[in-house]
Amino acid sequence: MARQRNESTLEILFALPWWVSGMLAGSTLFSPEILSLMFPLEQGQAGSMVGTAIVTVAENVSPYVAAFLFLLALIVFAKDMFNSRRAAHTPWPAQQSSAPNARPNRKKANEATLESKVEEPDWAYKDVTDTAGEKAISWSLEMLQSLDWKRFEELSAALFSDMNLVTRNTRLGADGGIDIELYDKEAPDTLVAIAQCKAWSNPVGVRHVREFYGVMMATKVSRAYFVTTSTFTDDAVSFSKLTEVSLIDGFKFIKLIQSRSPEKSAELLKLATAGDYTTPTCPGCGLKMVTREASNTGQAFWGCKSYPRCKGKLNMKKDNICLKLKRTLPPPQKK
């Protein structure tokens, strides 16, 4: 799980398209003329000394700021060109041929290709009945959102592995914003992409996607995947279209599982629902957590069972609690 931090102005400029820095540079270069119109320098006019000082500072500083912004625009432009060429020469499994490329202008068309090729099989979403006649668990958004965050990461890694990739999950604790590292199967030491997983019920906002894009740039990979059990806000989707970060929400995640063979889908379902798959794992020590209650507010939360040795805790999702209670109820009796 990624740590949240405030982004610097330089990081935000690097994340934006190159032409934004170029427009800011042009505006800065002509700022003295603009300020001269805002602060007329006629003799005897009140405030003329303040206006003169502001215009003078702008005349002295604006060339350096404009030059810096022009240089930044050139660096971002060169970075985009390098990522485009690198993505074109990076080997990628055939099953991922329809996945979004790094270039934004190709991403929308490739995502449409992905949706058209991922057809819904006849067996998808059908209820499976076991030998006792009771309805077994099947793929659904409700089931996906009930998964423990650690189980969802393991399921995501298994899905990527079936796409001819070598996956390596990061360790517990601070992971630097990367949950899964993806390597080329033919070159296991070559990192080709990274993934971050959020087992949330609320939509993922643009701030988290922007932070993950910064992690992708720092890692120097050409692809990144943000996977969640929920959805993404409109701002997050708009921002991702300007970057090389591909968004996979809960619905698309299930569609990708459906695109596997029935045997592989059943294997992934077995992995997802083995044992206790709803109780969250402590992010600090890896043990299953227990329900606790805050002494001052009485609000329930997940706490580590090894407390006080480990003080890990997580907020409790109400929908997960309702889902657990629903599963404990006996099936309705037929009249």
Residue 39 makes CB contacts below 8 A (sequence gap 6+) with 47, 48, 50, 51, 52, 54, 55
Residue 119 lies in a domain: yes
Q: What is the pLDDT of residue 106?
A: 43
279 occurs within a structural domain? no
| Residue 213 maps to a domain | yes
Tokens of residue 15, six digits: 């994340």
Residues 211, 245: Cα–Cα separation, whole Å: 11
Q: Do 44 and 168 fall within a single domain?
A: no
| Residue 285 pLDDT | 86
d(CA 326, CA 332): 12
List C-alpha distances in Å: 202 to 99, 172, 179, 249, 286.
25, 23, 19, 11, 24
**For every one of its 335 residues, what pLDDT tens digit does the chain have, with 9 covering 90 and above?**
444 444 566 666 666 676 777 777 777 777 777 767 766 655 455 556 666 777 787 778 778 887 887 787 788 777 766 655 544 444 443 333 333 343 444 444 444 434 443 443 333 333 433 333 344 568 888 999 999 999 999 999 999 999 889 999 887 655 578 999 999 888 888 899 999 999 998 999 999 999 999 999 999 998 999 999 999 999 999 999 999 999 999 999 999 998 999 999 999 999 999 999 999 999 888 888 998 888 888 888 888 888 888 888 888 775 543 333 333 334 444 44
pLDDT of residue 4: 41
Residues 101 and 200 placed together within one structural domain of the fold: yes
- Residue 292 sits at φ, ψ, to 5 deg, of -130, 170
Question: By residue range, what is the domain housing residue 70?
Answer: 9-89
The reply to whether 83 and 102 lie within a common domain is: no
User: Do 104 and 240 sit in the same domain of this protein?
Assistant: yes
pLDDT of residue 250: 94
CATH number at residue 182: 3.40.1350.10
Instruction: Quickly tell me which residue has 């790094």 as its tokens.
Output: 102
User: Could you say which of 50, 72, 89 is where a domain stops?
Assistant: 89
Domain count, the chain: 3
